[in-house]
Structure 1
Amino acid sequence: MTSTQILSNFIIFLYIFGTFVFGRFVNFNKLVLPLGVTGPESATFDGGFPVSGPFTTVMDGRIMKWKGHTIGFVDFAFTSPKRTKKQCDGTTDPNMAPICGRPIALSFHPIANLLYITDAYFGLLVVGPHGGLATQLARGTFNFASGLDVDLLTGDVYLRDASLTYNIINTTQPGFNSDSTGRFLRYNPHTRHVSVLLSGLSGGGGPAVSSDGTFVLVPELAGKRILKYWLKGPKANTSELFLNVKGNPNKIKRAERLGEFWVAISIGYLPRMPLITPQGVRFNSNGVVLQTMSFNREFVNKTISLVQEQDRRLYVGSRFTNFIGNYSN
């Protein structure tokens, strides 16, 4: 056997080994929130060395940071200038969200050392490396900001506005039906201008920019599909159907393998079925599904909003738990 053949076989072995061993995520443990705190819908990590986090959003209006199993989660930032710890810490009352804040999604810009946040009531915000009260950006532009991602090459922020007619409280009411007034937008941090790139979308979710900055994947949570919006090339500023999915796709995140993504899917959420099946689906830039992970045992009959891969681990977030799921090999 020639050296070229040996190298080729070794590369094939590494690919198979990485897919079927490193990618199985057979071990599970919980990153538990403080007592009484719920709703970790999102997670992100900073760009430090070593990487720290995850940071997560919770129902009582805080962004919290994981400091390891000994310390757990600690306060990092918050979105509402009206918020007080006495009034808001641990609240699960959705009517308190306009006072306490309801952060939904996070995206970290490691070069600028900034954490971008979407809040269901306060829109798009940003906070620096020391946390505290986040600064509201583009006031009054959003009705129900649901997800975002930062283009690491340009610094532009891409985000979803789930609807122009309903808000987050409506989504928990009996008989809720999503409409098709959602939007996909771009925020330019240099000009502070917001552009509407797509409208008439069904439901929210969180977009993901490709690693090379050529396109953004845009989920339609109620539409059960993912669109591809081109940023560069001959199709720039146009969109096309990228992938139909069986359930409701929420946040999309870049995977650790270049050109791959994870999406959190809840089968049976909209329209509501007796049993919800939560899954994570990994796929490539061509829309080819590479892996499907079931989270049904640990998130029984619960919707999930996030599957985030970091250091060969999966971090799974849900509005209806008091922990972030941590799957490893």
Structure 2
Amino acid sequence: MGRLLPAGVLVVALVAYFIASDPLELSCLSGITDFQAQYVAVPPYNPLGNITRDGESRLQGAEIVGQGDVFGPESIAFDGQGKGPYTGLSDGRVVRYDGPELGWTTFATTSKRRSALCDYNHTPAPKLDYEHICGRPLGLRFEKTTGELYIADAYFGILKVGPQGGLAEPVVTEVNGVPFKFCNDLDFDGDGNLYFTDSSTKYHRRQFFISRLELENTGRFLRYNPVRKETTVLIEGLRFPNGVAVSKDGTFVVVAETNMARLLRYWLKGPKANTWEVWMDLPGVPDNVRRNENGDFWVAFHSRRSFIEMNSGAVPWLRHLVAKLPIPPKQLFPLLAPKPHALVIRYSSEGQVLEVLEDQSGKVVKVVSEVEEHDGKLYLGTVLFPQMAVYTLSSGG
């Protein structure tokens, strides 16, 4: 009965919105249906076949590290000496795990304006209202030649910090004179160029749920040349671009487009250089993408694609209306968010499914934001929960 009341309120609010809305405003909604055919074209089937059954509960064998000590470990990295994992938290810090005795150590911060407001990592949930003050480090990558850690902070852009840590300094914070609103992930190619995503030019990260709900298309994929200090927009008009991973041979970059449940491939070399294509449709909503030493790609999924996720793109005006309802996002999110269901998939560089790991009930591993493979183990980040999971791969994995 407890779940019926909010749903009823939602229906009533929708009806009220229709009645109260200006007809001109409603007619303008037709302008957001231009992507309808493209979105619906994502195939509503499971491309994994029977392979899913083999891994449906294997992630329940993962070990939980830092339960309650870290909140929202979105991205994971190891330095050149194998130390780590390093991860960014909801309170704006980048921390490093120094073993069971020392635990987590603060390594870096991204904000100069840190105050008592930022000391909330041990609370039951992150305080999104303070993210623009404290910072929110998302994607992490070490630059191998210098040992510097590069950070995609959702609010402060691309930053870097030296091997000893401390306050990160800006690298690139704007393009064409306009500051970034939602930097998300990053990776380097062999020539030192930095590729990164700006998930939205309309919304900040603390408004990510509305951005996803609207399916708005202001996201971009960019390149920063550190020698010329030039930033170039490579793809624009994306719907929540997220994870970034350069292929092992350096011929292409994989970009996760979250709201379209697909991976894009941007060619760096060869006859298709400087062009992009849809590489593959996915069975879930992707977050980050990470390449392992063999050149395979681990894709972390925020969730499987639900019936609503697959079909609501055909009625974008409805999603737009829900986003405009006078209901706080904190109340909408529990109503519309899928149940915790961990899903990670390893793809070959040719796009073949090699391995699928799940915790379908979310008993141990819940929402996965990133998969980092290191020394025979998978380190699983989660942007929504206070834990990191470590899964030991089998000898054949």
Query: TM-score under structure 1 normalisation?
Result: 0.85
One-letter code aligned to 1:199: E
SS at match of 1:149: strand
Judge conservation of contact 1:227–1:242 (CA < 8 Å) in 2: yes
Partner deviation per Cα, 1:96-145 (whole Å, 9 max, x = no partner): 11111111110111222111101111011011101101011223332210
SS at match of 1:98: helix
Quick one: which of 133, 155, 162 aligns to 2:199?
Answer: 162
Mapping of residues 240-319 of structure 1, within 5 Å: 240-256=277-293, 258-265=294-301, 266-268=303-305, 271=309, 272=336, 274-298=338-362, 302-319=366-383
Alignment partner, residue 104 of structure 1: 138
SS at match of 2:145: coil
- Of 132-141 and 284-293, the range deviating more from structure 2: 132-141
Judge conservation of contact 1:34–1:73 (CA < 8 Å) in 2: no
Alignment partner, residue 81 of structure 1: 112
Structure with the higher strand share, 1 or 2: 1
SS at match of 1:205: strand
Instruction: Give the Cα separation in 1 of the matches to 2:248 and 2:109.
Output: 29
Instruction: Give the Cα separation in 1 of the matches to 2:363 and 2:243.
Output: 20
Alignment partner, residue 327 of structure 1: 391
1:299 to 1:113, Cα distance in 2 relative to 1, 3 A: farther
Query: Which stretches in structure 1 are left out of the alignment for 5+ residues?
Result: 1-19
Judge conservation of contact 1:207–1:218 (CA < 8 Å) in 2: yes
Quick one: which of 135, 139, 146 aligns to 2:173?
Answer: 139
Alignment partner, residue 149 of structure 1: 187
Judge conservation of contact 2:89–2:137 (CA < 8 Å) in 1: yes
1:308 to 1:60, Cα distance in 2 relative to 1, 3 A: same
Instruction: Give the Cα separation in 2 of the matches to 1:251 and 1:326.
Output: 17
- Of 177-186 and 63-72, the range deviating more from structure 2: 177-186
SS at match of 1:222: helix
Alignment partner, residue 227 of structure 2: 190
- Of 222-231 and 204-213, the range deviating more from structure 2: 204-213
SS at match of 2:100: coil
1:278 to 1:178, Cα distance in 2 relative to 1, 3 A: farther
Cα offset for 1:149?
A: 1.1
Judge conservation of contact 1:32–1:324 (CA < 8 Å) in 2: yes
Alignment partner, residue 9 of structure 1: none
Quick one: which of 99, 107, 122 aligns to 2:156?
Answer: 122
1:30 to 1:231, Cα distance in 2 relative to 1, 3 A: same
- Of 237-246 and 87-96, the range deviating more from structure 2: 87-96
Judge conservation of contact 1:158–1:187 (CA < 8 Å) in 2: yes
One-letter code aligned to 2:106: D
Instruction: Give the Cα separation in 2 of the matches to 1:236 and 1:249.
Output: 25
Cα offset for 1:192?
A: 1.6
Instruction: Give the Cα separation in 1 of the matches to 2:83 and 2:105.
Output: 13
Alignment partner, residue 6 of structure 1: none
Query: Which stretches in structure 2 are left out of the alignment for 5+ residues?
Result: 1-53, 310-335
Cα offset for 1:275?
A: 2.6
Instruction: Give the Cα separation in 2 of the matches to 1:122 and 1:25.
Output: 34
Instruction: Give the Cα separation in 2 of the matches to 1:53 and 1:113.
Output: 13
Instruction: Give the Cα separation in 2 of the matches to 1:205 and 1:166.
Output: 14
Partner deviation per Cα, 1:58-97 (whole Å, 9 max, x = no partner): 000000001011111110001011113x331225211111
Percent identical:
40
1:211 partnered with 2:248: yes
One-letter code aligned to 1:126: K
Quick one: which of 60, 69, 75 aligns to 2:100?
Answer: 69
One-letter code aligned to 1:119: D
Alignment partner, residue 8 of structure 1: none
Partner deviation per Cα, 1:142-193 (whole Å, 9 max, x = no partner): 2210111122x21111111101111212124699333111100011111221
Structure with the higher helix share, 1 or 2: 2
Higher Cα Rg: structure 1 or 2?
2
**Larger RCO, structures 1/2 (Cα 8 Å, 6+ apart):** 2
Judge conservation of contact 2:244–2:254 (CA < 8 Å) in 1: yes
1:179 to 1:102, Cα distance in 2 relative to 1, 3 A: same
Cα offset for 1:264?
A: 0.3
Instruction: Give the Cα separation in 2 of the matches to 1:273 and 1:185.
Output: 29
Judge conservation of contact 2:60–2:365 (CA < 8 Å) in 1: no
Alignment partner, residue 228 of structure 1: 265
Quick one: which of 62, 75, 86 aligns to 1:42?
Answer: 75
